[in-house]
Amino acid sequence: MSMDTNNLRINIARLLDRLDQLAQIGKIDGDGVCRLALTDEDKAGRDLVCRWMHDLGLDVSVDRVGNVIGTRAGTEDGPVVLTGSHIDTVGTGGRYDGTLGVLAGLEVIASMNDMDMQTTLPLGVGFFTNEEGVRFQPDMMGSMVHQGHLPLDGMLRSKDRDGATLDGELNRIGYAGDVDVDTMRAAAFVELHVEQGPVLEQRGITIGAVDSVQGLLWKQITFSGTSNHAGTTPMSLRHDCGYAAGEIATFGRHLAIDMGEPQVVTVGTILMEPNLINVIAKQSIITVDLRNTDLTLLREAEARLDAHANNIAASEGLDVEIETLARYDPTPFDQRVVDLITDNAMTLGCSVRQMPSGAGHDAQAFAPNCPTAMIFVPSVGGISHNVAEYTEADDLEAGTNVLLHTLVSLANRETDLS
């Protein structure tokens, strides 16, 4: 780290103010946030962040799947050193998930502008479309298209539960950009994110230097049977989709326990049709989120779940359709970048630990294409995807300072990534 940057620090009051301003957009009870991808709330958030990018003198581009990147020129032309995350949220989100990574990136730029500091390589700050995958699947959609791992046309045709297409919504909110996807290869990608789990807090550690993301699998199982009267239909004559959905939810929990950590299984949604108290359900649609750091074990969990769904359908006389909504293998990050983050954290006097990520992130789209890693800061109570999500200001400041020094090191080629 060259001497003239040792004292470089961010302005935490400015970062907190921007976090607070953005949190007002899509605000819900309990000081939470709901900005589902490509809704009016997402548009309003996008407009605000783009205004901040322009105010900071960044060159702002929008690509064909609505990803937005603000770029600050370097003293040399060359591949951009990129940071960023997402500003779309889950329906019961907090103010830090994704948003911190984007606004911390802007704070890095603002701090460098304050010091009139130049870097050799250009710096970029991005927010990527539909990271959460709540309205359109899969998650990490925008960054995966941006880096060539998902097909643009197929994703533009994806539909939400009301039949709205991603393409239609991008045009409706004015973010159907003209920049081609799968063209940018960054010099490096570093994402700051709240941990969203209990590890750092339980160990009293301030910084996570993230070295990998676990594998993720989203399955949607649709059972189709026969509606009938809840009172008159003998149990032996039923073709009950409500029973089948319940079986899957229970099986998922037992599967995770049987496989042991780090396997996790989550049933987050169950739709029933006609969803009436005295009618045997003729259809149920249940989603299952499976994750593991080990690909072989993740595939074993998938096979056991699929087999169970087919057995339940056969024994209950149901039709069953099993779809895969998202499939991401475990993703390793670049150890040189992980070590740079670790060194910068220690130089800045922060406790630090190298660790995997339990959540999916945009960074995993960049990892196969350029040196990539992430920085975590603690989540109070390990809570996230919940309006109670919270991270202490001191930790936000520490994480953003580590991001600042890491980006400066990379953009000044102080770290050999050849």
139 makes contact with ligand HGY (CB under 6 A) = yes
- Spatial CA neighbour of 367 closest among 322, 335, 321: 335
Nearer to Mn ion, 65 or 100 (CB): 100
Q: Write out the H or E segment, with its range, that includes residue 329.
A: none
Residues with Cβ within 8 Å of residue 175, at least 6 apart in sequence:
38, 43, 46, 62, 66, 68, 129
Residues 349-408 that bind ligand HGY (CB under 6 A): 359-360
Nearer to Mn ion, 82 or 112 (CB): 82
Nearer to ligand HGY, 139 or 240 (CB): 139
DSSP labels, 161-205: TT--BHHHHHHHHT----BPSS----SEEEEEEE--SSHHHHHT-
Q: 360 is in the binding site of which of ligand HGY, Mn ion, none (Cβ under 5 to 8 A by kind)?
A: ligand HGY
Q: Write out the H or E segment, with its range, that includes residue 15.
A: helix 12-23
Cα–Cα distance measured from residue 120 to residue 413, given in angstroms and rounded to the nearest whole number: 7
Nearer to ligand HGY, 206 or 357 (CB): 357
Q: Write out the H or E segment, with its range, that includes residue 238.
A: none
Nearer to ligand HGY, 286 or 359 (CB): 359
Q: Nearest approach, Cβ of 139 to ligand HGY (angstroms)?
A: 4
* Stretch near ligand HGY under the rule CB under 6 A, chosen from 8-16, 73-81, 131-139, 230-238: 131-139
Comparing every residue's Cβ against Mn ion, the nearest one is 98
Residue type at 60?
V
Q: Nearest approach, Cβ of 101 to Mn ion (angstroms)?
A: 8
Nearer to Mn ion, 64 or 86 (CB): 86
- Spatial CA neighbour of 219 closest among 266, 255, 254: 266
- Spatial CA neighbour of 178 closest among 150, 159, 154, 152: 152
Among 94, 133, 177, 330, binds ligand HGY (CB under 6 A): 133
92-131 footprint of Mn ion as x/- string (CB under 5 A): -----xx---------------------------------
Residues 51-59: contacts with CB within 8 Å, 24+ apart? 52/18, 52/106, 53/106, 53/125, 56/106, 56/109, 56/110, 56/113, 57/113, 58/109, 58/125
Q: Nearest approach, Cβ of 94 to ligand HGY (angstroms)?
A: 11
Q: 169 is in the binding site of which of Mn ion, ligand HGY, none (Cβ under 5 to 8 A by kind)?
A: none
Q: Nearest approach, Cβ of 333 to ligand HGY (angstroms)?
A: 16
Q: Which two three-digit tokens encode residue 236?
A: 């032996």
Binding site for Mn ion (CB under 5 A): 97-98
Chain positions contacting ligand HGY, by CB under 6 A: 131-133, 139, 359-360
